[in-house]
Amino acid sequence: MLANRARIPEADMADTLALRGLHIRGLHHVTAIAGGAQANLSFYTGALGLRLVKRTVNFDAPDTYHFYFGDETGSPGSLLTFFPFENAAPGRIGTGMVASTAFSVPQSAFESWVARLADEGRDFDGPATRFGAQTLALTDPDGLRIELVSDPTAPTDPAAPTGPTAPAATHLPTHPPIQGLHSVTLCVEASERTARLLTETFGYEFAGAEEGRHRFRARGGGPAGLIDLLCQPDRMEGRMGAGSVHHVAFRARDEAEQRAWRDRILALGFDVTPVLDRQYFRSIYFREPGGVLFEIATDPPGFAIDEPPGSLGTALKLPPWLEARRAAIERRLPPLRPTAPPP
């Protein structure tokens, strides 16, 4: 625990953060709960054409997989991850939950996505226009709502590959490319305190309102930088389960910046976990005022620390503290068929 760390007075902390220019740059990843592991793997590598960049286990419950899907290297801001519990009961989307997770697709590819999903007989909603961007929505095998957004204002990370069109991605299908996360939509009973956290603490800027939806944009306008709030006080409280998002993770440049965020959030009166080693990044967690579990995760060290970039996701990787239990863990995990996404 970091409980004995000297507490910086709130005013001094705000001045320190302002001098450092400390602000959240955008999403790191989104983690959800799935039912069957095979159906989850097949959908995200097949229907959506994402790369499985890491196959590991839930470090807190190692008899369950943890899948990371993203771009070619698993760049922060491209990642949707899953805990697939084989017998998970269905979740219920409601207040205190993530209502939808959106990916960016290029404007030139949007019609191809519409045609492709229609040709495959997949149900989807839209296309519709939201904040000037074309949007369609579909659900995964567990009912998790996924949106594909063609946003003319959405930037991409020039340092990151952009999925199946990247030169090194010869093992991936020729899907229209997904460029990474675009946004998440949070459903809350009352939005004021969540909005205050986003703007006054995280440094997000109010970007507009449309049909009961309030949009906030990370300062600097980088990729995966949008959060939408839906204030729905008459809606039932959500229930965690298959097809629901477990938590939303935001980016910290490094461990020093993450420690500064932990001090900042503690000073505001939130309960925050100690720093946890997630092998591919370090994490802290707290629950925001609307009830959604937030994480702040470091960009480094990344997914190539235990397997070559060209082999990401091909073997079950365990952290050092679980290696001694590998045989027992592998016996408990459901077997997986190799996936062969359609061209």
At 339, is the pLDDT very low, low, confident or very high (cuts 50, 70, 90)?
A: low
Any alpha helices (H) in 169-309, and if so which ranges? Answer: 192-196, 255-267
| Residue range 223-276, pLDDT digits in tens | 999 999 999 999 999 999 999 999 999 999 999 999 999 999 999 999 999 999
Contacts of residue 95, defined as CB under 8 A and 6 or more positions apart, other chains included, come to 187, 188, 189, 232, 233, 235, 236, 237, 238, 290, 291
* Domains of the chain as residue ranges with CATH: 10-332 (3.10.180.10)
CA distance 91 to 30: 16
Contacts of residue 158, defined as CB under 8 A and 6 or more positions apart, other chains included, come to none
Q: What is the mean pLDDT of residues 47-54?
A: 96
Q: What are phi and psi of 258, to 5 degrees?
A: -65, -40
Q: Containing H/E element for 89?
A: none
Predicted pLDDT at 156:
58
Residue linked to tokens 């904040």: 131
Residue linked to tokens 């705000």: 14
Q: Containing H/E element for 329?
A: helix 326-332
Average pLDDT, the chain: 88
- Asked if the model's pLDDT at residue 340 lies above 70, the reply is no
Question: Is the separation of the CB atoms in 157 and 151 below 8 Å?
Answer: no
Predicted pLDDT at 32:
98
CA distance 72 to 168: 8
Q: What are phi and psi of 317, to 5 degrees?
A: -110, 135
Q: What is the mean pLDDT of residues 130-143?
A: 97
CA distance 18 to 200: 11
Strands (E), the chain: 27-34, 51-58, 61-70, 79-84, 97-104, 125-130, 133-139, 145-150, 180-188, 205-210, 213-217, 226-231, 244-252, 276-277, 282-287, 293-298
CA distance 99 to 145: 7
Task: For the chain, give the percent of residues with pLDDT over 90.
Answer: 82
